[in-house]
Amino acid sequence: MENLNILIVGVGGQGVILASEVLTLVGIKAGFDVKKSEIHGMSQRGGSVSSDIRFNKVKVHSPVIARKSADFLVGFEKLEALRAIDMVADDGIIISSNYRLDPMTVSAGSMIYPDDVEGIVKENHEKTYFFDHVETIEKIKNPRAVNIYILGALASFIDIDKEIWIEVIKSRVPPKTVELNLNAFEEGLKIGG
C-alpha cells in the first residue's frame, strides 16, 4: 500500500474528530507521512462535518482529498454519506451507519429526508457496507463507542497491523472505557469478514 485517502463524514458532535485523530496516529505508527484537514467553526453547531485523512509512503502534498479519489468514505450518518458519494474513487469502499439524523431543514418540515438512502447509495456505488445503528449499539453496549466500531470496520479492509490500531485506541480513549472500546473495535473488524 503506497497511499490511502479516507474521508470521514457525519454531523457535529458525533465523534468524527476523535475517529480521525485515531486514524491519523495509526497512519504515523504504520510509517506513513500523514496529513489531515477538517473544517471547524459553525459545523460544530449540528452542521455537516467532514475530515480528510491522507497517508502516503513518501509525502502527502495537500491534505484535502480530491473528487473521486477517496479510497474509503466513512459515514457516521447515512445522508452525509450520500452527500459525499462523489468523493469516492470508483473502486473505493463506502462504510456507513444507517443512522438517520434529520437536518433542521427536515425536522422543521421544509425539506424531505429521502426515502431509502441506503438503497440510493448502494445503487450508485457497488462496494458499500451499511451497518445497523441500533443493533450495533446493542452489540457494543455503548452508543459512544460507535466511532471506534466504525474504525474497526475500516481496519478490516486496510492492510495495517491490528496491534497498531489497538495501541492507538488504548492511548486515545478514557482509561475506564478501554475494554469497552476494544470490544467495539473487534466487533467492527467483522464487517470486512
Partner 1 sequence: MSKEMMSGNEAIARAAYEAGVKVAAAYPGTPSSEIMENVAKYDEIFSQWGPNEKVAFEVALGAAFAGKRAICAMKHVGLNVAADPFFTASYSGVEAGFVIVSADEPGMHSSQNEQDNRNYAKFAKIPMLEPSDSQEAKDFTKLAFDISEKFDTPVLMRVTTRICHSKSMVELKERKETGLNEFPKKNTRKYVVIPAHARIKRVMVEQRLKDLAEYAENTDINRIEEGTRDLAFITSGFSHNYVKEVYPDAHFLKLGFTYPLPMKMIRKFVDQHKKVIVVEELDPFMEDQIKVAGINVHGMDIITNIGELNSDIIRNSIENTKDEVNDIGVSIPVRPPALCPGCPHRGVFTILREQSVRVMGDIGCYTLGVLPPLDNLDWCVCMGAGVSMVQGLEKAWDDEHADKIVGMVGDSTFFHSGITGLVDIVYNHGIGTIFVLDNSTTAMTGTQENPATGKDIKGKPATRVDIRKICEAVGIKEIYDVDPQDLDALGEVVAKALASKNPTVIITHRECILLPLRAKVKFTPLKIDTEKCIGCKSCVSVGCPALAYDKKLRKTRVLPELCVGCEVCSRMCPKSAFTKNGEPLVYEKRHKIRGK
Provide the binding-site residues for partner 1, judged by CB under 8 A: 11-12, 24-25, 28, 33-48, 60-64, 66-67, 79-80, 82-83, 85-86, 102-114, 120, 124, 143
* Closest of 151, 145, 149, 155 to residue 177, by C-alpha: 145
- Cβ-count burial 53-82 (b if 16+ within 10 Å, e if not): bbbbeeebeeeebeeeebbbbbbbbbbbbb
Nearest to partner 1 of 36, 148 (CB atom)? 36
Least distance from partner 1 to the Cβ atom of residue 100, Å: 9
Whole-angstrom distance, CA of residue 180 vs CA of residue 36 = 27
Question: Would you call 21 helix, strand, or coil by DSSP?
Answer: helix
- Retrieve residue 174's grid coordinates: 478514557
Least distance from partner 1 to the Cβ atom of residue 131, Å: 18
Least distance from partner 1 to the Cβ atom of residue 93, Å: 17
- Retrieve residue 108's grid coordinates: 422543521
Question: Would you call 97 helix, strand, or coil by DSSP?
Answer: strand
Nearest to partner 1 of 99, 185 (CB atom)? 99
- The two beta strands, 3-11 and 128-131, are unpaired
